[in-house]
Chain A
């Protein structure tokens, strides 16, 4: 492996990790409060990306200011995350609360399949690639490698803001503390006055928003095509399995682990690249079934 390849693989891996982290953060937050591993989270990622790409194309088509490119990504996430999130939570998730995990997985998997077809119906099967935002941010030379500022700076900064923002919300605001209480014990939290329905909905909307934000921010640097949602949900599962459910900081490290190993595999063993999340997950779970960072005996967020 040459130095150039090493640097390229590192930068690729870190920018992929930033996106993966945001999506996994949403997934683990929702699991913490509702106890449901939501497979349809992958669809939220994909649809967030498609909507962002559509907005990006519209900006070009109507000759609007390029200053709108970046806001359009966030707008896409803010439009579609809460909307789809509310639909999914009210229509589906709250009806399968406390049911067997197999049933929950099947139901959210069904929702994922349906949404996958909706994407094909609306956006077709041809790849979408709207890189106008990325070009706008320019490039930087890193030891002889030219790399986009968007992937190298914007994505990690947004991921860090999402992480610290979420931590602040969970530990410093009264609503956040209600969310935490719910992750530990739904019934006792309710007996203490927490409106479980409302807090679940709110958590789901925030989690869904993180999923769509991940997709929207991925759209400039990744080609959107059928299957991106499935790929993302598999990687996010691997992240939270490795980190331990509900471990926010651990999820950041796990996302780096998966992002980097996958990008290095692309250069070194391309045929194994798709398998790396599974391989790492299996290795970690063999040694520590509860995840690398799970606190002893208790679940926390």
Chain B
């Protein structure tokens, strides 16, 4: 379970997030919907440990206070991250990009191979791209590869920042299908997706929040069996 308690952050003196409270159960997929500049990326970067937040707040994963964990130790905890700007390392092939986080945490090769097979079953579109240089992928293919890479280590929590942005309808559909397969393949996984356009998410999320000017409100539970009741702070 991922718990955000009273998370507030300022960037350059300007309040960007205001007392965010939320709980996301294991097994649930949460969406955070908000306009450009609402603070979605900042929230994910806080969970990843890249943005400092006010001391009285906390980010806790399965009882572990993440503010005490170095950013680079998050993959070891099973946290996968798909950044907004779909950064892949261009001098590596797609396969090397996917294996990279596992390699960095010194996962045995056999285990990485197995993880690779598992990820390719979830995102089969990646199979024909594996040998290509990451530098030549299209924007949409790169989004897929970033999803795959986040799943290579993300066994407990996966954070995806605006994955649908810039995806053509066909690719968006493939992406949605991949997320559904992921929910089936890793029922214990907590997934957190940000998006500016709610309709793109279809029925993927079991819970949806709205982030507006740094404050979060419940926008509605999801359908599906993976629901959980969020504890959201009232907005200002």
Contact = CB atoms under 8 A, between A and B. Distances in A.
Interface of A: 174, 177-178, 180-181, 184-185, 187-196, 298, 300-301
Contacts of A178: 104
B71 A184 contact: no
Nearest to B105: A193
Nearest to A298: B90
Contact of B104 (A184, A193, A298, A301): A193
B90 A184 contact: yes
Nearest to B102: A193
Interface string B29-64: 000000000000000000010100000000000000
Interface in B46-95: 48, 50, 70-76, 81, 83, 87, 89-92
Contacts of B101: 192-193
B72 A195 contact: yes
Q: Which 8 pairs between the two chains have the least Cβ-Cβ distance?
A: A193-B104, A193-B75, A192-B101, A188-B87, A191-B81, A185-B87, A195-B72, A193-B105
A235 to B, nearest CB: 27
B17 interface: no
B89 A174 contact: no
Contacts of A177: 92, 96, 100, 103
A177 B161 CA distance: 25
Nearest to B70: A195
A191 B103 contact: no
Contact of B71 (A174, A185, A191): A191
Contact of A174 (B72, B73, B104): B104
Contacts of A185: 87, 89
Nearest to B45: A187
Given A177-B100, A181-B100, A193 B72 contact: yes
A193 B153 contact: yes
B67 to A, nearest CB: 16
Interface of B: 48, 50, 70-76, 81, 83, 87, 89-92, 96, 100-101, 103-106, 135, 149, 153
Contacts of B74: 191, 193
A301 B75 CA distance: 25
A178 to B, nearest CB: 6
A178 B72 CA distance: 12
Contacts of B105: 193
Given A192-B101, A193-B105, A184 B72 contact: no
A194 B91 contact: no
A177 B96 CA distance: 10
A180 B96 CA distance: 12
Contact of B72 (A180, A190, A300): A190
B146 to A, nearest CB: 9
Contacts of A193: 72-76, 101, 104-105, 153
Contacts of A188: 83, 87
A189 B97 CA distance: 11
Given A177-B103, A193-B73, A300-B90, 7 more contacts: A177-B100, A178-B104, A184-B91, A191-B48, A191-B83, A193-B72, A193-B105
Nearest to A191: B81
Contacts of B72: 190-191, 193-196
Nearest to A192: B101
A185 B50 CA distance: 13
B230 to A, nearest CB: 25
Contact of B75 (A174, A192, A298, A300): A192
